Chains A and B, each alone.
Chain A
Amino acid sequence: MARTGTNVVKRGMAEMQKGGVIMDVVNAEQAKIAEEAGAVAVMALERVPSDIRAAGGVARMADPTIVEEVMNAVSIPVMAKARIGHIAEARVLESMGVDYIDESEVLTPADEVFHIKKDGYTVPFVCGCRNIGEATRRIAEGASMLRTKGEPGTGNIVEAVRHMREVQGQIRRLQSMDEDEVMVYAKENGAPYDLLLEIREEGRLPVVNFAAGGIATPADAALMMQLGADGVFVGSGIFKSDRPKEFARAIVEATTHYDDYKLIAEISKGLGTAMKGEEMNETTDRMQERSE
C-alpha cells in the first residue's frame, strides 16, 4: 500500500533540492542549458519576472504548451507558477504532472485575501514569505517549501536579504523566549501557535527555505546561503545576463561552495555583465506586497 501526497513525501522532495539552484526558463532550450549547468530544478514560465514587470498587465499561469515542452526536455523536476488563490490554475498544473507548484506573487493574484489550501493536493507547493508570520501561515495551509519573496525581476538582492534576515532573526528570538511568551508572539505575528512551538523546539522551520527575488550574481547566491538559505531560485538573473551558460554554471558552483571565496573570485572572473538591476525606490510595483 503506497501512500502518495503525504507531508513526508512532499517536504522530502524539497529536501532533495537543498544546496541547489532552481532556474527560471521559458522554453526547452533554456531548460536544457539550466540542466546542463547543474540546476536541481527548473521553473517553467511564459516570461521571466523582469519581462513580466516590463510588460505590465495581468500575469497568469503559463501556456501549458510551454510547461509541457519543458517537462519533455529535461529529467530534473519541473516547477510552474499559479496565481495566488487560483485553485483552478493549480489543479490544471497538478493534472499535467508538474513536480512543484509555486503559488507566486510574481503573477497577478487571483485572490487578494485567501491563499490556496494546499494540503489537499498531491503535488507539493512552494510559497514566498517575508517573515515568520507569512512563513507559518503558508506552512499551515500546506506549503511544503518556502522561499523569500525578495523583489522579483529587479536583480537587486536587498529585499531577499531583508526577508531572510527577518525570518532567521525571528526564529532566534523565538528560541530565546520562555514558553509563556509564545502565545503573545503568535498573536502579534498572526502565526499558528503550534507551529511556533515546533520551530522554537527545533530551532528551524519544518520545511526548507530558499532565497528568491533579486539574485543576479554568484556572490549574491553565496550571500544568501550564508544568511541561512537552503538553496536559491534565480529568475531573470541567468537568461537576462550577457552569458547565460556561464552565469548558470557559476551560480551553481557559488551555491555549493558559498564560503570558498577564492573559488567564487575565480568563477566570477570575466563573466560579463549581470542583468541590469533596479534601485528599490525606482521600483513602482512591489510584487512582495501582493500577499501576506
Chain B
Amino acid sequence: MTIEATYGVPTVALHTDKFDRVVRAVAAQNGMPGLRQAFVPQPVMGKTAAELRAYIDGRDPITKRPVMQEVIEGLTRPPAEGDPAAVEFDRSTPRLVEPDTEENLHRLFLERDWTDKLPIILPTEERVAAMLAATRRRPDEVVGHMRPTHFREAWEYTVEKVAVNAVMAGAVPAYFPVILALAATGVSARGSSSSSLATMAVVNGPVRHEIGMNVGTGALGPHNHANATIGRAYGLLSQNLQGGSVPGITYMGSMGNNYAYNSVTFGENEERSPWEPFHVQHGLAPGDSAVSVFTGCRSTAFTLGLREKYWREHVRNLLRGLDPHTPPTLLLDPITAHQFIDRGGFGKKEALIDWLYGAATMPAGEYWDYQLVQNYIYPRATFGEEPWASKLQAAPDALIPMFRREDIHVVVVGGETNGYWRIMGCTYQTTCSVDEWR
C-alpha cells in the first residue's frame, strides 16, 4: 500500500489464500479497498522451486482465474468507472448498546465477538460507574492505542472503555488500577500473529497483597480471583479496544493459544525470592506497584530442580529446546531460585542471566537455518544491525549465542511445594506503573 499510495507506483500484492479476508480488510481500513491483490495457495514456506512455479502457472484459489492474469491485469487495468475518489469515513459507534433483556444482551455480546466465548458480566452503567470510582482518572481520558499487528490501524480507548471491559471480565473495582496499567502499555494481549502468541503479565509491589493476588501455590492457575479476572480483562480489553480478534479477519493464529484466556497473569513472589524484584530491575522502587508484560508466549519447557552433577547440561538442554527467535524468561519456584544460588553461586539475577547467556549457544549454521531466524533476524543482520551482523561472520560450525543477553529474564513465583521450574519463551516489552492509575 505504501508503494502505491505514497510513491505512486502501480502495484500488485501477492498473498497466500488463507489471508484473503484479512488483507482485504486491512486495505479497506487504509482507504484502498480497490488495492490490486492476487492469491496463491498456502503454504509457500518449504515448497520447492518447481512447486512454487506450479502456483504461478496455476489459478488464483480465490478468483479461480489464472494467477498471472490477475497480476498483469492488476498492473494494467484502469480503476472501474464510479470508483470513489478521496473521501473520509467516520466510524464512531454509540456509547450505549440498544437496551434489551439480559438474555438477549448476552447473545448480542457473543454474536458480535465481544467476549472470549465464556459468560461475561454485563457492563451496566452502575457497574461501570463503580469501576470508575477506583481511579482518580477522568472517564474520558485517553489511555492509549492498540492494534492486533504492526500493519493494522491503531484504535484509541479511554478510561471508561477500559472499565467496561474490566466489568465484563468479572474484575472488582480494586483491581482496576492494574487493569488500566495493562491497557496503558499499549501491548495487545490478542496479537494476530499466525504463530498464535499470547502475553504474560507479572505484577510487582504492594498492590499484589492489597488486592489479594496469588504469588505462591497455584499462582499461574485458575485459583485466585484477582489473577484470573485481571488477566481475563487484559484479553477482553485488547480484543475490543483494538478493533477485534476474529479468526480470519483480525486474528490469524493458526492453532490458537490457551494461555490467551488470562494472559498468564500472576504476581512475583518477592517475599520468597532471594533476588531483586522484577520491577526494581527495570527502574522502579521496591515500594512501587507495577505490571510488566511479555509477548510471544508459546513455548514452555520445564524440569524439576537442579541436579548436582549435570545441572548445567540440563539447563542447556531446556534452552536449546526453544526456538532461537523467542528468548527465555525463567519462572522459578523459590526452591529452585535458591538452588541456582547453591549450585552456581548466582547471588544476583544478573549473574544467573550472564551464565544463561553463555550457556545458550548453537552452531551458526543451525541458528541461521531456523525459519523464524530467516524471517525476522537474518534480514536485520544483512541490514547491518548488531549483534546479528557480527553473528553472520561466524563459521557454520562455530557456536554462537542463541539470544541477546538483554532479552533473558528471571521471575520468581510459586509456593515451594516442590522445586519445579519452567522456561517461558517470550519477549519482555515494558513495565508500567500501577500507582499512576490509582
> Are the chains A and B members of one assembly?
no
**B residues whose Cβ falls under 8 Å from a Cβ of A:** none
